[in-house]
């Protein structure tokens, strides 16, 4: 008996490094439910493949809202006569709502089911994208822009929380493939929004059509996912308490502040990099291509950084390096030599993609079980996105106050340095407890 027990322990220890080597970033937000949520009901392998396609396509719509607006921001500001405060609000609100609505997603999923909540979120996203460019009765486009942008932010928050859990539960034997496709789709959505919005504007001459065009893929995914979601049985779940209290853990707070600082830079790229480049004299189409290239390089960073981080017992070095790359790349994009702007944007893209990925990977590397990982993920999304939106806010405020983006370059040097400090502390080989 003792030999069998020892053999089992040795087997468990042998498996632990392999598990740690591939930590993944897909956290199931519904892990605390009873009864435990099962996979989505599908009748065949073909329907399972169809479900996978739907989930990836949902991911392909989760960042176009941010990058499409920034691609035509000067045109929208001029033609819709937006006041300065409105520009700041429109670039800040959707990120803030990612944090505000994130805690609501598991609550809704317990009552209605994750698939139905995702369907509802895609309906709200489509409606928000349709509403955004409308000119409602009144003095300007501003009311519709505000309401539509807020609806999009709330919908994306629900998808951000629930989609990773569905990918993880429905494709446990293809987790590497599906996790990679899902992550790549989200990055690709930002690249598509940045790269294609301005060409649609130049072809049509209307910024409203350029923004409306992004409602089409959202509506298509809504229709594709409709039969899958409505086919699911209604099972009421209850929340159970398990895992440590992450709000009292110093390690959890270090990881969360690391997430806050990376979010400040990440969403500022989506909101402000194109306007920054255009103010420096880059034409709209080229600025969109530069931002798209930056985001494509983010994909490369997000693919390789988690595996590299997981190879070591602590991640202090990689966390610090990618944080400094991101802050430095952003600052150089603002006041570095314009002839090298592609280089600065490339440095920013590789750094930001790696930084986002390692920040999310900390969820798995700093927790011992799925329950604690889910709690830490909820804390990071709520606090991270909520406070992370101050990055876009400060960029807008500094630009209004100074008339240029130079002060924002100094800001990102400071934020990158702070991210390096907290990344170093979060990277130590310790667990949330």
**pLDDT the model gives residue 8:** 43
**pLDDT the model gives residue 9:** 40
Cβ atoms of residues 29 and 377 within 8 Å: yes
From the centroid of its chain, how far is CA 297? 15
**pLDDT the model gives residue 25:** 66
Cβ atoms of residues 221 and 61 within 8 Å: yes
User: Which residues, 6+ apart, have CB-to-CB distance to 360 below 8 Å?
Assistant: 25, 259, 306
Among 193, 198, 107, 184, which residue's Cα sits nearest to residue 152? 193
Query: Token digits for 147?
Result: 């309401």
From the centroid of its chain, how far is CA 326? 16
Among 109, 119, 105, 117, which residue's Cα sits nearest to residue 225? 119
CA distances from 427 to 97, 204, 299, 384, 420 (A): 28, 49, 22, 17, 10
Low-confidence ranges of the chain (pLDDT < 70): 1-25, 34, 137-139, 239, 241-243
Q: Rounded distance, CA 194 to CA 332, Å?
A: 20
CA atoms within 13 A on the CB side of 412: 32
Query: Token digits for 414?
Result: 């400071």
**pLDDT the model gives residue 139:** 63
Cβ atoms of residues 253 and 245 within 8 Å: no
Cα dihedral 279/282/283/289 (nearest 10): -120
Cα dihedral 295/152/99/269 (nearest 10): 20
Q: What are phi and psi of 184, to 5 degrees?
A: -65, -40
Q: Detail the DSSP E strand segments found in 167-243.
A: 238-239
Q: Rounded distance, CA 390 to CA 261, Å?
A: 10
Cα dihedral 306/310/313/316 (nearest 10): -10
DSSP state of 38: -
Q: What are phi and psi of 126, to 5 degrees?
A: -60, -45
Cβ atoms of residues 398 and 91 within 8 Å: no
């Amino acid at each position: 008996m003792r030999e069998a027990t020892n053999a089992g322990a040795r087997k468990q220890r042998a498996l632990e490094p392999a598990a740690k080597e591939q930590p993944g970033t897909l956290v199931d937000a519904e892990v605390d439910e009873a009864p435990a949520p099962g996979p989505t009901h599908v009748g065949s392998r073909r329907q399972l493949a169809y479900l996978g396609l739907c989930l990836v396509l949902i991911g392909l719509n989760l960042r176009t809202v941010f990058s499409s607006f920034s691609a035509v921001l000067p045109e929208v500001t001029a033609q819709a006569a937006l006041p300065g405060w409105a520009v700041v609000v429109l670039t800040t609100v959707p990120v803030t709502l990612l944090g505000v609505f994130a805690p609501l997603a598991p609550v809704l999923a317990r009552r209605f089911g994750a698939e139905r909540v995702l369907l509802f979120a895609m309906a709200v996203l489509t409606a928000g994208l349709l509403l955004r460019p409308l000119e409602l009765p009144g003095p300007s486009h501003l009311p519709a822009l505000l309401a539509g942008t807020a609806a999009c932010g709330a919908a994306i928050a629900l998808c951000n929380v629930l989609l990773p859990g569905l990918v993880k539960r429905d494709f446990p034997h293809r987790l590497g493939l599906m996790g990679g496709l899902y992550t790549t789709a989200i990055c690709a959505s930002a690249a598509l929004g940045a790269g294609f919005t301005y060409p649609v504007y130049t072809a049509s001459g209307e910024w409203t059509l350029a923004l409306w065009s992004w409602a089409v893929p959202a509506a298509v995914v809504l229709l594709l996912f409709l039969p899958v979601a409505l086919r699911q049985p209604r099972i009421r779940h209850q929340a159970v308490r398990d895992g440590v209290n992450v709000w009292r853990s110093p390690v959890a707070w270090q990881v969360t502040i690391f997430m806050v600082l990376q979010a400040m830079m990440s969403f500022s790229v989506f909101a402000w990099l194109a306007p920054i480049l255009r103010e420096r004299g880059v034409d709209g189409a080229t600025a969109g291509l530069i931002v798209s290239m930056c985001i494509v390089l983010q994909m490369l960073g997000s693919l390789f950084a988690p595996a590299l981080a997981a190879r070591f017992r602590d991640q202090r070095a990689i966390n610090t390096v990618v944080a400094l790359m991101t802050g430095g790349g952003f600052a150089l994009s603002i006041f570095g030599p314009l002839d090298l702007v592609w280089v600065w944007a490339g440095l920013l893209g590789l750094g930001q993609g790696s930084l986002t990925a390692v920040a999310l990977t900390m969820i798995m590397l700093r927790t011992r079980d799925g329950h604690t990982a889910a709690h830490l993920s909820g804390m990071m999304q709520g606090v991270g996105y909520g406070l992370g939106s101050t990055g876009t806010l400060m960029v807008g405020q500094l630009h209004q106050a100074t008339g240029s983006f130079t002060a924002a370059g100094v800001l990102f040097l400071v934020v990158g340095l702070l991210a390096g400090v907290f990344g170093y502390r979060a990277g130590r080989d310790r667990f949330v407890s």
